[in-house]
Amino acid sequence: MDGAAAPLITPLRLDAGALHRSATHPDADAMTFLNEIMARYPDAISFAPGAPHESFFGGIDIAALVDRFVTYLRESRRLDEQAVRRTLYQYGPSRGIIVDLLAAALAHDLGMPVDERSLVVTVGAQEGLLLTLRVLCGGADTVAVVDPSHVGITGAARLLDLPVVGIPDHGDGPDLGRLRAACAAHRVRVLYVAPDYANPGGTRMSLTARHELLAAADELDLLLVEDGAYAFTAGPDDLPPLKALDTAGRVVHVGTFAKIGVPGARVGYVLADQPVAGGGVLADALCTVKSMLTVNTSPIGQAVIGGLILQHDGSLRALARAKATLYRRNLTHLLGALRRHVGAPAGRTDGVTWNEPDGGFFVRMRLPVEADPALLERSAGQYGVLWTPMRAYYVGDGGARELRLACSYLSPGEIDEGAARLARLLTDVCPDR
Ligand SMILES: Cc1ncc(COP(=O)(O)O)c(C=O)c1O
């Protein structure tokens, strides 16, 4: 360099305030904190993750599932070896490569006609939610969500800079009076709802509430984004999803294989059969947007899920059966353990209450004190039990004194011990206990 001094370069340091608000939002910090505290207290019993039970993973043979799907490609779709390889290893169609299997399974399980052209296979339900909001909502549209709601929907709205309004969950789905008021005050385009054992509230909507919500959607000219993540975990007495009751085309149904299959495959789907003036259906628009986001869902992940569907005689309900049994066992066990160790939820004087859902992964507990990160830290460090603070699930200012208990991931012994530890924490922190 002929002795010339190198110019002084100050390494770039980005201003957090200049990043998109979704990158620095406190709700993201709440989830990071939860992961971090689980890592710091590995021996604590954790009621935090709403993850599938890992005993099911032992029965999964990826190679056999892919083989099963490949045999299907050869025999039913009559693909030669080169076409089979291309289907699995090449970029693929944005719509996905298992829509035929999925359409047949949904039609079989839900007893309704499903055209494969109304389906899009997505990278988990999460991408399905994001695509649906992106296609349906413009800048001035507001997204209504049942409050509290899965952080994935409020997070997706935030990524898209869409305003969100919370509609309180009155225990049987969204409060329709509050929905009407929200529609009068804002340009609400969609309402997100999870009718089957919602995350985090555990609410399951009755059949009557489902019909009333569909009628309200028609009256208010809304589209309902139905999240069916926990639907097939309900067991034999499950209720029809909103989509199966939807005669007016008001429902976009989002599903996932994370709870009934393998979350690591990252496969979900959207059923969007609404005709679009000028041609096609809503699913086509979702495919167009998907082609600019993830291009296509991994064909290898789809092959695993395709193999699972084939292995269960083309039925999602059959695929879910063993899991539904285990999840119901765990939930029954958790509710029993809470009664044994904490007491009966009704008629307490100390302000500790909880719901007793009959399915799903979650129990919502209310405390007379704040269920904040400081209490969680104390709970983990001194009592060896973890749970999820509910604050981040609320759009409004609710949830400060609520926590979520998930039981999907634990054994009955861990549930028992976890409930006993939680009871000790509650005795020490709730004034009247
Ligand atoms: C209600 C709900 N919807 C969607 C998802 C995300 O599903 P996926 O893993 O398929 O993106 C979850 C995950 O926990 C959930 O609880």
Mutate which of 131, 256, 266 for ligand 1 pocket (most atoms within 8 A of beta carbon): 256
- Provide the pLDDT for residue 56: 87
Token pair 């001094």 in the structure block, residue: 5
Cβ of residue 238 lying under 6 Å from some atom of ligand 1:
no
Helix or strand run (H / E) with residue 27 = helix 26-40
Q: Where are the beta strands (DSSP E) in 67-132?
A: 119-122
DSSP 67: H
What residues have CB less than 8 Å from 394, skipping those under 6 apart? 147, 148, 166
Q: Does the C-beta of 150 come closer than 6 Å to ligand 1?
A: yes
Ligand 1 in contact with 49 (CB < 6 A)? no
The rounded Å distance from CA 348 to ligand 1 centre is 33
Q: How far is the CA of 110 from the centre of ligand 1 (A)?
A: 20
The reported pLDDT for the residue numbered 232 is 80
In a 13 Å sphere around the CA of 425, the CA atoms on its Cβ side amount to: 27
Nearest-angstrom CA–CA distance, 323 and 315: 14
Residue of 144, 183, 180 lying closest to 164 (CA atoms):
144
- What does pLDDT average to in each consecutive run of 10 residues of the chain (433 residues)? 74 92 83 85 92 88 98 98 97 98 96 94 98 94 96 96 96 96 98 95 94 98 96 78 96 96 96 96 98 98 98 94 91 95 74 90 95 95 96 92 94 96 94 66
SS3 content of the chain, % helix, strand, coil (to 5): 45, 15, 40
**CA-CA distance, 105 to 216, in Å (whole number)?**
29
Backbone φ and ψ of 300, nearest 5°: -70, -45
Phi, psi values for residue 175, rounded to 5°: -75, 110
Centre of ligand 1 from the C-alpha of residue 8, in Å = 49
How many other C-beta atoms can be found within 10 angstroms of the C-beta atom of residue 122? 29
Ligand 1 atom having least distance to the Cα of 268: 10
Which of 100, 94, 91, 90 is CA-nearest to residue 120? Answer: 94
Rama region for 122: left / alpha / beta (φ>0; ψ in -120 to 50; rest) = beta
